[in-house]
Structure 1
Amino acid sequence: MNTTEKLKTINNLLLQKSFKVNYENVVLHFAEHFDVGNYSQRSFFRDIKNLKEAIGLRYPTFEDELGPLLRFSKYEDRYYYVRDDISAFPSLSEKELTQIASIIDFNKHLFTDNAGQGVVNKLRAISLENSLSEYNEILPWPAIQLIKDGERSGSDQLKKLIECISAKKTIQLHHQGLSKTSKLKTITGLPVMIKEYNNGWYTGWYLLFYEITGTEMEIEPTINELRLLALDRIKSVIETKIAPKVKLCTLFNPPDYFKYSFGIIRNNIGNPTLEHEKITVKLEADNWINSYLEKYPLHFTQNIQILNKETKEGILELEMEINQELESFILKYTDQMTVIGPENLKVTIIDKLHKSLNNYQLSSQLI
């Protein structure tokens, strides 16, 4: 550990009321958690002195009013901060965490798919875990574990795209497909919305985009003419010098692009008249998925008719577009459900099941 890391660690220990900060306890903490075995008492006092200077520089007004902000209690044999809401290094207090959570909660309309609620939950989890440290001994593992979102590929383009979306500016994109043989393409058009989506493989950002040829003097985008591009495949974003006039219908609402799709992938580019269909699925006897669907509906059009309360047999009805993600979901739970209609979806599922069965039979012959 370098000096800064040691100072930050001691500072964090001072913020945890359950930890008794003195030389003996800090030595044990460094040895157990950082494998530091040569931390001398002289080094500890030097680090305490540096923390006193650092926190004094961060809160000069408090220090003028209260005196030294980091003190030692002979009675308790511990160092402590005189206020609960101060830290030698930038951090968020319980009050600040709560305020930020409240602000995000109030502005949830700026987020999609309950992402705002997810941020609020994480902030509240941080606040909760911090408060628990006041009453419990420090655990060697986290009390709460949340999904690690990770960094977003394509985030360097986000600011520029959002500016162009807000200003209704047409842009020129340099885009490259995921395939190794894909070539860099130049696409011109109007960006209309950024979509964040977790597709099971990774969480990413996507751009909803209306492509133009570059010769139109006026454009009027429609929902089924939009296309979706992954931000991590966009190499550059350039504003066009000559832009057509953008005319938007009052009914044009980009989020409607995803309204009847399972996931985000649609087949509308090659089929601009694409419409949703009535999908009927039988829920088999003794299934468990019915309880799951009741609690977590697949879609807002979902309707379940229970045919037998004891066996949980039922009929699941949906009004959705048929796409690969919907097919994959049905195949994933094919022991729980059977497609009744439409016929084209039923045939597709049967064909894929036959192919899978043939693959297993062939692989068995090779063993």
Structure 2
Amino acid sequence: MNTIEKLKAINNLLLQTAFIVNYDNVAEHLLEVYDLEKYSKRSFLRDIQGLKEEIGRRYPTLEDDLGPLIKHNRVKDRYTYVRDDLSAFPSLSEKELTQIASIIEFNQHLFTDRAGKGVVNKLRAISLENSLTEYNELLSWPSIQLIKDGERSGSEQLQKLIECISGKKIIELQHKGLTSKSQAKTISGLPIMIKEYNNGWFTGWYLLFHEINAADKIVEPRIEGLRLLALDRIESVKEKTDRRRINIPLNFNPVEYFQYCFGIFRENISDPNLTHEKVTIKLEPNNWILPYVMKYPLHFTQEVKVVNEETKEAIVELDIEINDELVSMILKYTDYMTIVSPERLRLKVIERLQKSLSNYSI
């Protein structure tokens, strides 16, 4: 392990807020990960000095404002960067970032709603930021701020589930409801697909799942029989040794499960006759929503009829399933849009509005 490799390893540890960087911890890490047996405290202090020089070259004038860019807390015996956005080395090289971006572009089928293009753009933004700081003084604020989605709840189950999806393997899940009083239930079935979704509250992983029972001799998934499970409520995943025959219909495409719903949550299990229907929404005069709806359709079935160009009054028609997410979206913009039909959707919105008003009654 040469000096640069050691410096990069320690740099990466400094970027991990949960890791306490000191001689003992770094020496243990280098031994476990890199089999580096003879690592003295003198070598560690030399490497810290080397990192200070590297980061000083990368941000040549920042020390004038902040002082030493690596500080040592004597009480806690811990080294840290003075700012969270500092690094002596880019986390990925330009070549690596380009390769990853190319791989994502080549696999656009794994993403929906042009999300893959967004990831590529983020990687290119990171690459650009890294290259600019090599030649320019670092600002006291980031020149680009990317959306931080954070950890994905349930991600610890992801690898096992993807392996079982690819291998068409039957699994047994321990699944717990959302409330604190819910008991974990054992569910057996065939995992179909992982869906990532941001519902406006947080971004999480969801498992599209075909449940089976003991009497089923043939496992044959159908779109309307699938159910959606949040990964953060799955407590365990166990692959089952099962001799039942798995028959995937030729026209089976799990993406169709989400085709006519607003968001991803459907009521197909509680309502086997669930279907999509025509929804008509009036955009009220003097709204600001019309240009956004025209550019970013609410749903792929959307049709817009502009009634008045001057006031922006319009009629929006969707062929869609009615669910809580659709109602919530309408309520969010209720000052600017009104449900024309169907009547049951109007009543859902009215009921929610009346309940909200009652909460504010004096």
TM surpasses 0.5:
yes
Per the TM alignment, residue 351 of structure 1 is displaced from its structure 2 partner at its CA by: 1.5
Q: 1:103 to 1:12 in 2, by over 3 A?
A: farther
Q: Which amino acid aligns with 1:164?
A: C
Superposed, which structure 2 residues align to 1:243-262 within 5 Å? 243-262=243-262
Which residue is equivalent to 1:208?
208
Per the TM alignment, residue 5 of structure 1 is displaced from its structure 2 partner at its CA by: 5.6
Which residue is equivalent to 1:10?
53
Which residue is equivalent to 1:303?
303
Per the TM alignment, residue 6 of structure 1 is displaced from its structure 2 partner at its CA by: 5.4
The answer to whether structure 1 residue 269 and structure 2 residue 269 are counterparts is yes
Any stretches of 5+ residues in structure 1 without a counterpart? 39-86
Question: SS where residue 152 of structure 2 aligns?
Answer: coil
Which residue is equivalent to 2:196?
196
Q: 1:308 to 1:107 in 2, by over 3 A?
A: same
Q: Which amino acid aligns with 2:266?
A: R
Q: 1:180 to 1:6 in 2, by over 3 A?
A: farther
* Native 8 Å contact 2:176 2:235 kept in 1: yes
Question: Structure 1: how far apart are the matches of 2:63 and 2:277?
Answer: 67
* Native 8 Å contact 1:10 1:26 kept in 2: no
Per the TM alignment, residue 163 of structure 1 is displaced from its structure 2 partner at its CA by: 1.2
* Native 8 Å contact 1:171 1:238 kept in 2: yes
Which residue is equivalent to 2:324?
324
Q: Which amino acid aligns with 2:141?
A: W
Superposed, which structure 2 residues align to 1:1-367 within 5 Å? 3=45, 7-14=50-57, 16=58, 19-20=59-60, 28=64, 31=67, 33=69, 91-361=91-361, 365=362
Per the TM alignment, residue 135 of structure 1 is displaced from its structure 2 partner at its CA by: 4.4
Q: 1:5 to 1:335 in 2, by over 3 A?
A: farther
Per the TM alignment, residue 131 of structure 1 is displaced from its structure 2 partner at its CA by: 2.4
> Which entry has the higher C-alpha Rg, 1 or 2?
1
Q: Which amino acid aligns with 2:54?
A: N
Q: 1:262 to 1:7 in 2, by over 3 A?
A: farther
Question: Structure 1: how far apart are the matches of 2:325 and 2:164?
Answer: 31
Question: Structure 2: how far apart are the matches of 1:111 and 1:206?
Answer: 14
Q: 1:327 to 1:130 in 2, by over 3 A?
A: same
Question: SS where residue 298 of structure 1 aligns?
Answer: coil
Q: 1:296 to 1:245 in 2, by over 3 A?
A: same
Q: Deviations over 1:49-96 (max 9, x none)?
A: xxxxxxxxxxxxxxxxxxxxxxxxxxxxxxxxxxxxxx9968422233
Q: 1:134 to 1:222 in 2, by over 3 A?
A: same
Question: Structure 2: how far apart are the matches of 1:263 and 1:302?
Answer: 15
Question: SS where residue 348 of structure 1 aligns?
Answer: helix
Q: 1:243 to 1:325 in 2, by over 3 A?
A: farther
Question: Structure 2: how far apart are the matches of 1:197 and 1:281?
Answer: 25
Per the TM alignment, residue 100 of structure 1 is displaced from its structure 2 partner at its CA by: 2.0
Per the TM alignment, residue 192 of structure 1 is displaced from its structure 2 partner at its CA by: 0.3
Any stretches of 5+ residues in structure 2 without a counterpart? 1-20, 23-44, 75-86
Q: Deviations over 1:120-166 (max 9, x none)?
A: 11110111112222443211111111111212222221111111111
Question: Structure 1: how far apart are the matches of 2:251 and 2:73?
Answer: 68
Aligned-residue CA RMSD (Å): 2.4
Per the TM alignment, residue 105 of structure 1 is displaced from its structure 2 partner at its CA by: 1.3
Per the TM alignment, residue 236 of structure 1 is displaced from its structure 2 partner at its CA by: 0.8
Q: Identity over the aligned pairs, expressed in percent?
A: 60
Q: Deviations over 1:309-347 (max 9, x none)?
A: 000111000000000000000011011011000010011
Question: Structure 1: how far apart are the matches of 2:346 and 2:63?
Answer: 67
Size of the aligned set, in residue pairs, is: 307
Question: Structure 2: how far apart are the matches of 1:11 and 1:238?
Answer: 47
Per the TM alignment, residue 292 of structure 1 is displaced from its structure 2 partner at its CA by: 1.1
